[in-house]
Amino acid sequence: MSAIPFVSLDAARYGEAVQVSPLVRRVIANNPSKYTYFGTGTYIIGHDDVAVIDPGPLLDEHRDALAAALDGVRVRAILVTHCHSDHSPLAAWLHDTTGAPTFAFGPHRTSEGDSEMDATIEDGVTLEETTDTDFVPDVHVGDGEVVAMGSGWTMHAVYTPGHTSNHMCFALDEERALFTGDHVMGWSTTVVSPPDGDMRDYIESLRKVMGRDDATLWPTHGAPVTSPKPFLEAFLDHRLDREAQVLRAVRSGLSDIDAMVKVMYADVREELHKAAARSVLSHLIKLADDGVVSVDGKVGPTAKYLPT
């Protein structure tokens, strides 16, 4: 398995709209963490009339920076990749201020009452990805649809479920650029956390993006990926290798997720083990569906997983 060629940012220029390509400016929110890297990157597409991708978290300084960056331009569309609270909350303010409609696949899917699956997400675990349950887009968009057009730019929707069930990437046709939200990040792998995160969907969505011909991937967190194909191949290899590790762990006699994480993520900071456990759970759900792992009890964080 080849190592993922992660890309680092030297520093973030908070509160400033930085021109990162001929048609794209980025404003980074000052919400750095071990899960958001330097912070949420809000993208502004176009010049006189623009689209805004992932307005970001409820931070006054970020709101003010966006207001300054958008002064004197017409906002045609507000695009939201998904409804985590570091991506979508400022969409309501931006809609109220500009009158521009919001576009997304849909609101966050509500849980169907699986309390054990849900409770563990919050039980002592801050993924920094709490959900913006208030967000409902003005326009629901489907895969492949033209979302918005302006002077010299066109945005298409690319549906990529996995990180969340409603995750949507957005393609800027004129620059062969894909804005990947949290689906593909340049600095880190993505947490896939059940019940809304789904590893099978995530892997299929990775393959879908691999089949495209994008020149640049612009994640909401971190630096751009300018050589997408080898990066995505390494990303997929990493996921498939993790799945093989999980299966080997079960076949070696490890039956609970905590024990698997201690072995598989021994070289990862312990503060990230809770998040890693969510991805392991997602792999186990897929493996159980594939029929190569059985479950002693109800599928979930505290179940025992056995080889078939």
Domain 241-307: give its CATH code.
Answer: 1.10.10.10
Quick one: pLDDT band at residue 30, thresholds 50, 70, 90? very high
The sign one gets for the Cα dihedral 279, 214, 105, 44 is positive
Domain 18-227 and domain 241-307 have a common topology: no
State the CATH architecture for 18-227: 4-Layer Sandwich (3.60)
Q: CB under 8 Å, gap of 24 or more: what pairs does 19-25 form?
A: 20/218, 20/224, 21/175, 21/177, 21/216, 22/175, 23/47, 23/152, 23/153, 23/172, 23/174, 23/175, 24/172, 24/175, 24/177, 24/218, 25/69
Residues 6+ away with beta carbon under 8 Å from 279: 191, 192, 193, 199, 242
For the segment 234-262, what is each residue's pLDDT rounded down to a tens digit? 999 999 999 999 999 999 999 999 999 99
Distance between CA atoms of 300 and 95, rounded to whole angstroms? 39
Mean pLDDT of the region 95-114: 86
**What residue ranges do the domains of the chain occupy?**
18-227, 241-307
What is residue 117's predicted lDDT score, i.e. its pLDDT? 44
For the segment 148-194, what is each residue's pLDDT rounded down to a tens digit? 999 999 999 999 999 999 999 999 999 999 999 999 998 889 989 99
For the segment 80-102, what is each residue's pLDDT rounded down to a tens digit? 999 999 999 999 999 999 999 99
